[in-house]
Structure 1
Amino acid sequence: MKLVIVESPAKAKTIGKYLGPDYRVDASKGHIWDLPVKTMGIDFANHYAPDLEPRKPEQTETINRLRREVAQAECVYLATDPDREGEAISYHLQSALGLDPEAKNRIMFNEISQKAVNEAIKNPHYINKGLVAAQQARRVLDRLVGYTVSPVLCKKIHNNLSAGRVQSAALRILVDREKEIQNFKPEEYWNVSAQLEKPATKPQFKAVLAEKDGKKLKLKNKEQTDEALAVLNTNNYVVRNVKRSVSVSRPQPPFTTSTMQQDAVNKLRMSSAVAMSVAQQLYEGFDIPGMGHVALVTYIRTDSVRVSTDAVAAARARIASVYGSKYVPAKPNVYVTKKQAQDAHEAIRPINVELTPDSIKDKVQRNQYLLYKLIYERFLASQAEKATYDAVNVAIDCGNYGLTATGKTLTFDGYLAIYGEAKTKDKDKDDESADNALLPALTEGDVLNLIKLNSEQKFTKPPARYTEASLIKAMEERGIGRPSTYATIMQTLYKREYVGKDAKALVPTNLGIQVTEYLEQYFDEIVDVDFTAEMENRLDAIEDGGEPW
């Protein structure tokens, strides 16, 4: 018997389906060892060595059961997730089960499919000590921060409070934005537009006041606005020039962990925590009537937008068969992973593009269907042709003032036929933009009729509060934490009552503001966003072997 050990029973069931009767697949049920709960658990005199123990009482039985299975196995494979946490679990299993540390017993796969699992079994390798060291450094660092600072907060403010290396930096981002909003001083401005028509030609259209004496104009008060209206009411409107162009919109890359969470929040109205939980189900596999235990997507913790050549070819073939060859670009779309990102895994994508969301819609839970559909369509669209538009920009003179009218017409939907853009920003109903208007045929020198002038007083608005999606984006851009931990961070902020919600907006509570101000005063580095980001860079350096942990 050959033994394969993974983290979760669901993953074990999916892998067991592909390996056959010669293999036994069992689960460690997550980390078997961790730092103790009631003490610091770090040996400061011995290079900060962690004092690990079974994570839960029942993990002792798990270890004993796995030891019995190891004793009966002719060989053992450690098939935990392909990341820092998974590598640490494998390393701890290797130690706890008495496996040869010099043996090639570590296997990894980016997707749980027949091909990927069998390929991994054929190519075992050594445990990556750099990944293990990075995980250990991260765990010890988080323990030092949490167990040093949290008791101080409980003593100085009140019980059941916590601080964390990433948690506190994320909270500071929210608190800083809230203070920016509170200190914001609105400024007056005015919008002016003209409803115009070309004589005997439909349709009427709107042009927006944009210039005075050839320079960009922003009306700051009623006096300036009345001055402009006087000219606009008494002078001819003449087309100065008409510029026509073709514009394009390119598809976005397939999902990373961060962008998947953002779109799940924006498009599906899921919380980041729900999105990650459902994504884990899609990756590990679950029972689907008529299909058995099946995994649907590749590994869900990734910073990369890279995709295998086989997956690209499958996507292009699927697009051609469903939408037609004109929707397939001449060459595959290639996306570049961000410089600071880890590129060990592919982007998140469906394992099999022939398994469409609609084919399983009535067989899976609603959230499973919705997230799979989101991942599926985003991936397929990433290999589709760009969308094209006919654009027109018209400059109109009236006295010494200039107005603009713009129109844009979709001429080929391309990737939008598969994955339309999310309307994630609340558009100002009173926005005076004339974009995307339907315009009549206009030529230079045309004299236009004024139908109506519109003017409106407005005031600048403070920056918007963060939503879960925009906070995740900000954390990623500023290098705070890892995308796979963002959902957990959000849950902690809610649990500690540091943050509340106003519709979709995240609002720091008085307690959250008080904690942040206290940390800024006495533990400045803990809430320093740049310091937290630098710690992430150093963890990456440990992982790559460039720095001892």
Structure 2
Amino acid sequence: MAKHLLIVESPAKAKTIEKILGKDFTVKSSYGHIRDLIKDSKDKKAIEVDNGYKPNYAISSGKQKVVKELKDWVKKVDEVWLATDEDREGEAISWHLAKVLKLDLDSTKRISFREITKPALQKAIQNPGTVDIDLVNAQQARRVLDRLVGFELSGLLWRKVRGKLSAGRVQSVAVKLVVERERAINSFDAKPFFKVAAIFEVEGANGKKVHFKANLNKNFDSEQNAQQFLEQCTAATYQVGNIAVKPAYRKPAAPFTTSTLQQEASRKLGFSVSRTMSVAQRLYEAGHITYMRTDSTTLSETALGALADTIKKFYGDNYLNTKQYKNNKASAQEAHEAIRPTYAEKNSVSMGNDENRLYELIWKRTIASQMANAQLQKTTIDINISTVSDVKLVAVGQVLKFDGFLKVYLESKEEEEDNEDNNNEDKILPPMQVGQVLDLGKMDAIERFTRPKPHYTEASLVKKLEELGIGRPSTYAPTISRIMDPNRGYVLKQTRLGKDRAYKVLSLNGKDLTIQAKQQTEHVGYEKNKLFASDLGMQVTDFLSEHFSDIMEYSFTAGIEDQLDIVAEGREDWVKMLDDIYKPFHQTVEHTLENADRVTGERILGKDPKTGLSILVRIGRYGPIAQIGLTEELGEEKPQYANLKEEQSIETITLEDALDLFQFPKTLGNYKDLEVVIGEGRYGPFVKYDGAFISIPRTEDVHQVDMDRAVELILEKQKADAPIGYYQEKPITKGQGRFGPFVKWEGLFCSITKGSGFQLETITEEEAIVLVKAKIEKEANRYIHKWDDEGLSVQNGRWGPFIKIDKDRKNYKLLNKKGEKMTQDEAKEVSLEYVIQQIEEQGGVLKKKKKATKKKPAAKKKATKKKTSKTGASKTTTKK
């Protein structure tokens, strides 16, 4: 029997540590927090505000078995060690464990480590401490404040805006950032200007003619001024005025913090913020990287030595430049480290694809941070124009002389930082001399437009939150996930296709010195996986900003984070801190409840020219809608409704745009005796024919789709849906869906993946059957148990068996009696009753399926004709 029990947060981490510590230690997991605030009831509140903000806790749902097992182990061992994560959440988990397991806080050993390696664990065990009550108080203060603010704001929104809304101290400020960016983009007035670029022809080093580009150092604000400049250039000569050759260098980026890892993984790997943190957590638990929640860029002396050895071994001594990076943030703790590999020489790991890609990113960034600067030679050539004295053409080139850290890694840029004029990497200019006269090939004045800042990505929003001091490394990912939660509907992550835009080009031909004007087209506004503020998000933000200006102020929210840091350092009492914030906030809530008007969210755009009824837009049950007719105008008549398009907003839609929405559905006529209808849905325009909905390409104007084009689309769809073969005498069809190409058989969708080697356009019957058989086999292995009457199943998942309720988005854990994840063999033995018990312990509810009942035939009722409405439509109703 082991003498020591060491408790960590995750089972994966427990297994790794137990292998390192050996037989004297039994390592068990708490599976995260074991206690949480209770739900308010008549008898007891979660937080007793008048009793020093005393929080009342209960064992979290589904954690009773975990707690029982830990209590049993405490009785069996000589000593208990608490080894949860070293941040505030980890400290709080240790404190809760001590309270529940009845451990003495003054004598129970508390250890922490930032990497799961033998030296780090040995060092931690040799230098144990106790639970830091100041860190615990800081965590409790955050939890209590967020619960009070969130609960009271959400209740207020239910009363004053609409039901089932939520708000929070940090999430509402994050939504405000997205809303402000959305409005800035919507109100942005793109101003045209003209950029001038010239192409010159000179003799290269090898005697052959070469071309190079030079840009004018001034833009023109109108076509007239650009034209006038080109006209001046028709009689000009071009002469090299100055050549400057200077050394330049590029520095490597610092090692990753939580925020910079989230940003770079988004830009380079396409990972969401939450995906990055999940993958990093698994890498940490497997002992491959240091702790992934940090705002420090510091590296330990041991790590610096190991990195230096690795660089010398892989790249040579001249690539090494050991350096320690200073933390930019005052709140960053120097004792903490940046995110780095635990073993510098290990450039890959034997895990899943996500883990390998993120690890490689971390390894490269860390290695590059200790490498020499890249050395460049930058050449700038000024070209004088004889007929114009106040401007000049400038050609810039650079040559990489020594790659340094670029041999390993190059940091990516934010979209708003990217500038097409600065893309001079490895652009070599031909040899020239001062005074040399140059031959002009051509000169273009190209119309460009000023651009607003782009919509936020998840990563750029994290960067902004960090810049403003809102949140900490542990809160970025949960905040982003919360504001994008579809149940809240405040922020939408979408890809928008953009539109075509015309622009002008004025060209001066260097040979015949004529100027030509032409119009060209470019596609603009394409945005992939960006964050867009919904109409609901805007309304809620406006309401909160009007009535809670302090809570919604960025500096106020950042100030609370600073106060929590002070509490964590033991320099302020957490109860006093809460008092100073909560009491004035609560008074504002009560005042707003009593005095604020209810938000309607309606916007009347004008009158319908056909009926004279009002046209308005508002938020409906399933999103923003346009409506013809107010209640007082219609009486008992029902209004007409139309969904707004994805890119439309209640704030910016015009009367003309709204009227367009009511053109559809529109019947074009009949094809083969069946009606052809075109319409617009939430996901774009479509043709409806014979029960099928056929998408109209978004690049086409739905108003221009006539009967001939509709029939073309119908025939294309029928051809695409025609069977490509048969399996077991049943047809196989193919198609392109939201998640890519597929073949379909008997309701089974079988993806045509890149790895299959098959192509949608050329797939044969034999190839399709291969995919169908594989899918059937996979589905057979998917279900361990399936109870159709209860709408319940136990399924095999990527991380092991789990419980699934039909039409429930949530997956429920399947745990054995020890509180551990069940194996596949264990899952085969579970009963329906045990599965239902597991669901209930995790706070789920299994709704009983309603049995179908036979309807009695309805009694015939007399039909009466109702008076004609304002729209001229008559309605048939039944007498009641």
Tell me, yes or no, whether TM beats 0.5.
yes
Equivalent position of 1:114 in the other structure: 118
In 2, the alpha carbon distance for the partners of 1:428 and 1:533 equals: 29
Out of 451, 460, 463, which is 1:473 matched to? 463
Instruction: Please list, as runs of the form range in 1=range in 2, the aligned pairs for 1:17-28 lying within 5 A after superposition.
Output: 17-28=19-30
Instruction: Please list, as runs of the form range in 1=range in 2, the aligned pairs for 1:374-453 lying within 5 A after superposition.
Output: 374-399=361-386, 400=389, 401-422=391-412, 424-425=414-415, 431=420, 435-436=424-425, 437-453=427-443
Query: How far apart are residue 489 of structure 1 and its match?
Result: 1.3
In 2, the alpha carbon distance for the partners of 1:69 and 1:435 equals: 64
Instruction: Please list, as runs of the form range in 1=range in 2, the aligned pairs for 1:23-422 lying within 5 A after superposition.
Output: 23-38=25-40, 41-56=46-61, 58-103=62-107, 105-198=109-202, 202-210=209-217, 217-285=218-286, 295-329=287-321, 332-343=322-333, 344-357=335-348, 360=349, 363-399=350-386, 400=389, 401-422=391-412
Aligned-partner residue type, residue 126 of structure 1 = T
CA contact (8 A) 2:80 2:108 kept: no
Change (3 A) 1:72 1:47: same
Change (3 A) 1:107 1:434: closer
The structure showing larger relative contact order (alpha-carbon pairs under 8 Å, at least 6 residues apart) is 1
CA contact (8 A) 1:5 1:25 kept: yes
Equivalent position of 1:8 in the other structure: 10
In 1, the alpha carbon distance for the partners of 2:309 and 2:257 equals: 23
Q: Relative to structure 2, which stretch is displaced further, 229-238 or 171-180?
A: 229-238
Change (3 A) 1:267 1:178: same
Q: Relative to structure 2, which stretch is displaced further, 221-230 or 390-399?
A: 221-230
Equivalent position of 1:214 in the other structure: none
In 1, the alpha carbon distance for the partners of 2:164 and 2:245 equals: 63
Q: Relative to structure 2, which stretch is displaced further, 235-244 or 40-49?
A: 40-49
CA contact (8 A) 2:253 2:411 kept: no
Query: How far apart are residue 38 of structure 1 and its match?
Result: 4.4
**For 1:516, what is the secondary structure of its paired residue?**
helix
Aligned-partner residue type, residue 47 of structure 2 = I
Q: Relative to structure 2, which stretch is displaced further, 480-489 or 248-257?
A: 480-489
In 2, the alpha carbon distance for the partners of 1:428 and 1:105 equals: 51
Equivalent position of 2:822 in the other structure: none
CA contact (8 A) 1:208 1:434 kept: no
CA contact (8 A) 2:111 2:128 kept: yes
Q: Does 1:534 align with 2:559?
A: yes
Q: Relative to structure 2, which stretch is displaced further, 134-143 or 456-465?
A: 456-465
Q: Relative to structure 2, which stretch is displaced further, 469-478 or 319-328?
A: 319-328
Q: Does 1:525 align with 2:516?
A: no
Equivalent position of 1:292 in the other structure: none
**For 1:525, what is the secondary structure of its paired residue?**
coil
In 1, the alpha carbon distance for the partners of 2:6 and 2:424 equals: 59
> Cα RMSD between the aligned structures?
1.8
Query: How far apart are residue 65 of structure 1 and its match?
Result: 2.3
In 2, the alpha carbon distance for the partners of 1:23 and 1:325 equals: 43
CA contact (8 A) 1:267 1:424 kept: no
Change (3 A) 1:434 1:277: closer
Aligned-partner residue type, residue 54 of structure 1 = I
Change (3 A) 1:433 1:3: closer
Out of 483, 490, 495, which is 1:498 matched to? 490
**For 1:483, what is the secondary structure of its paired residue?**
coil
Query: How far apart are residue 5 of structure 1 and its match?
Result: 0.8
CA contact (8 A) 1:306 1:346 kept: yes
CA contact (8 A) 1:36 1:51 kept: yes
Query: How far apart are residue 37 of structure 1 and its match?
Result: 3.4
In 2, the alpha carbon distance for the partners of 1:310 and 1:374 equals: 21
Query: How far apart are residue 426 of structure 1 and its match?
Result: 8.0
Aligned-partner residue type, residue 539 of structure 1 = L
Once the two structures are superposed, residues 347-396 of structure 1 have per-residue CA deviations (whole angstroms, 9 ceiling, x without a partner) of 00011122221xx3xx4211010111111111111111111111001111
**For 1:132, what is the secondary structure of its paired residue?**
helix
Query: How far apart are residue 74 of structure 1 and its match?
Result: 1.0
Query: How far apart are residue 7 of structure 1 and its match?
Result: 1.1
**For 1:441, what is the secondary structure of its paired residue?**
coil
Query: How far apart are residue 466 of structure 1 and its match?
Result: 0.7
In 2, the alpha carbon distance for the partners of 1:382 and 1:484 equals: 24
CA contact (8 A) 1:304 1:341 kept: no
In 2, the alpha carbon distance for the partners of 1:14 and 1:448 equals: 69
Change (3 A) 1:428 1:416: closer
**For 1:438, what is the secondary structure of its paired residue?**
coil
Query: How far apart are residue 148 of structure 1 and its match?
Result: 0.5
CA contact (8 A) 2:483 2:491 kept: yes
CA contact (8 A) 1:193 1:432 kept: no
**For 1:484, what is the secondary structure of its paired residue?**
coil
Aligned-partner residue type, residue 407 of structure 2 = A
Query: How far apart are residue 311 of structure 1 and its match?
Result: 0.8
In 1, the alpha carbon distance for the partners of 2:423 and 2:530 equals: 29
Change (3 A) 1:471 1:427: closer
Query: How far apart are residue 64 of structure 1 and its match?
Result: 2.8
Q: Relative to structure 2, which stretch is displaced further, 31-40 or 47-56?
A: 31-40
Equivalent position of 1:544 in the other structure: 569
In 2, the alpha carbon distance for the partners of 1:272 and 1:17 equals: 31
In 2, the alpha carbon distance for the partners of 1:191 and 1:403 equals: 11
CA contact (8 A) 1:472 1:483 kept: no
Identity of aligned residues (%): 41
Query: How far apart are residue 451 of structure 1 and its match?
Result: 1.0
Q: TM-score normalized by structure 1?
A: 0.92
In 1, the alpha carbon distance for the partners of 2:472 and 2:417 equals: 31
Once the two structures are superposed, residues 451-477 of structure 1 have per-residue CA deviations (whole angstroms, 9 ceiling, x without a partner) of 111111122112211111111100000
Equivalent position of 2:445 in the other structure: 455
Query: How far apart are residue 342 of structure 1 and its match?
Result: 2.3
In 1, the alpha carbon distance for the partners of 2:421 and 2:307 equals: 41
- Structure number with higher strand proportion: 2
Change (3 A) 1:223 1:394: same
**For 2:228, what is the secondary structure of its paired residue?**
helix
Change (3 A) 1:106 1:540: same
Unmatched 5+ residue regions in structure 2? 496-527, 575-880
In 2, the alpha carbon distance for the partners of 1:545 and 1:202 equals: 73
